[in-house]
Structure 1
Amino acid sequence: MASSLFMASSLKIFSLVMVLGSFSTQAEARAFFVFGDSLVDNGNNNYLATTARADAPPYGIDYAPTHRPTGRFSNGYNIPDFISQAIGSEPTLPYLSPQLTGQRILNGANFASAGIGILNDTGVQFQLYDLGARRVLVTGTGPLGCVPAELALRGGANGQCSTELQRAANLFNPQLIQMIKGLNQQLGSDIFVAVNTQQTHYDFISHPGAFGNITIYT
């Protein structure tokens, strides 16, 4: 299976939340909800008046079976797609999609929108436990200073990543992990899971062969 790298050449990458919740007494009944930005947008921005769009080639060229742009900021599948496959579910539909009707909403939905950034009220995501969420994946920031647009604008003369943005990410991620640990201690269970996006990106760069055929677009 070919892996996909995200084409966030003009967007900063911020935290995202992916939620697996149980909405019935049956253990196997799970819904999958996604909140975040371009890393996990499955096409919401196709329905919005925004310049942050992924509805033209080369986006989607590895997306089976159509090989056409889907609104995902990727050449193929994105993170929610792989999670949906792992739990045996259909890919999450954008919440703005006209196809998301009736019982389909009970299977989950994708509320992500590219370029959304972090809002002052982002902390409301941690109330999801009260709404039935029992596994919440929370990512930190990726290597912000290494995004192609930032390399072009603020990178070093020899292609080094932006020092300022890298420092910001290095300050943010450890504090996010500590906050999540504190929440889990209050709840008495590992409900919230910190995902090390920065290390994942470095793994792609350092050991690309371990992830199949990777296509990079900038």
Structure 2
Amino acid sequence: MDEALLLFSVVVVIIAVLASLSSPSEARAFFVFGDSLVDNGNNNFLATTARADSPPYGIDTPSHQPTGRFSNGLNIPDILSEHLGAEPTLPYLSPDLQGEKLLVGANFASAGIGILNDTGIQFRLHEMGARRALVTGTGPLGCVPAELALRSLDGECDPELQRAASLFNSQLFQVLQELNSQFGADVFISANAFRMHMNYVTNPEAFGKTS
């Protein structure tokens, strides 16, 4: 179990936490923890080279300007906020995060961040009142552009890294089941980013996209 928890804590890229619900349809707050996949601008306020404050980031936003998200437009927390019927969470370093904005939640994600096992973040969040945590595993590592440039001769995803990602995600799912057993409730919900990505790439027509 200790090795599994270490794997969980070091490699998981997003923990999106909903605080306890005041009603079945209304979430009290939405908190985001993770790296560049969910960073919505915190690194704009940090002295770091991991930044998304220049083109082509943000090219599909209404302003066509970078927003600090490592994306051409919205990212995962933005989409989740839309489905919750809430406004997007602000970066925790943003000077606009004050007053009633604090009741929406906050985004603590930062590109390049890591989570160490000894922080015990998954347990401390539960003790602080978090009752739902969406945990995404790793995406298709073998398809990352940098890896394609280093390993691929024909544009195909690297099979070794793809297998590694699949092995990790299956172990992550087992860890979450064990954690839920400890808490006696479905606190941790897994999201298979690998499968979602590959479904989109291999069958874009199913998602309304044409080549």
**More deviation in 50-59 or 206-215?**
206-215
Aligned equivalent of 2:131, options 111, 131, 134: 134
- Percentage of pairs with the same residue: 64
**CA-to-aligned-CA distance 1:2-51 (integer Å, 9 cap, x gap):** xxxxxxxxxxx85210011137x555352000001111110011111111
User: 1:73-92 residue pairs with structure 2 within 5 A?
Assistant: 73-92=70-89
Number of the residue aligned with 1:46: 44
For 2:74, what is the secondary structure of its paired residue? coil
Matches of 2:193 and 2:80 in 1, distance apart? 15
1:166 aligns with 2:171: no
Matches of 1:68 and 1:211 in 2, distance apart? 26
Number of the residue aligned with 1:57: 55
TM-superposed CA distance for 1:158, in Å, is: 2.0
| TM-score, normalisation: structure 2 | 0.86
CA contact (8 A) 2:13 2:37 kept: no
1:192 aligns with 2:188: yes
For 1:109, what is the secondary structure of its paired residue? strand
Q: For structure 2, list consecutive stretches of 5 or more residues without a partner in the other structure.
A: 1-10
For 2:154, what is the secondary structure of its paired residue? coil
TM-superposed CA distance for 1:156, in Å, is: 2.9
Matches of 1:21 and 1:163 in 2, distance apart? 39
For 1:20, what is the secondary structure of its paired residue? strand
CA contact (8 A) 1:14 1:142 kept: no
Number of the residue aligned with 2:108: 111
TM-superposed CA distance for 1:189, in Å, is: 1.4
User: Aligned-pair RMSD on alpha carbons?
Assistant: 2.1
**CA-to-aligned-CA distance 1:163-214 (integer Å, 9 cap, x gap):** 3422321221111100100111122211110110000110110122333459
TM-superposed CA distance for 1:91, in Å, is: 0.6
Aligned equivalent of 2:15, options 11, 14, 17: 17
For 1:102, what is the secondary structure of its paired residue? coil
Matches of 1:124 and 1:142 in 2, distance apart? 22
Instruction: Considering fraction of residues, name the structure with more helix.
Output: 2
Matches of 2:134 and 2:210 in 1, distance apart? 24
| TM-score, normalisation: structure 1 | 0.83
Matches of 1:122 and 1:75 in 2, distance apart? 32
**CA-to-aligned-CA distance 1:84-127 (integer Å, 9 cap, x gap):** 11111111100010101133222100000112144344642243
**More deviation in 195-204 or 125-134?**
125-134
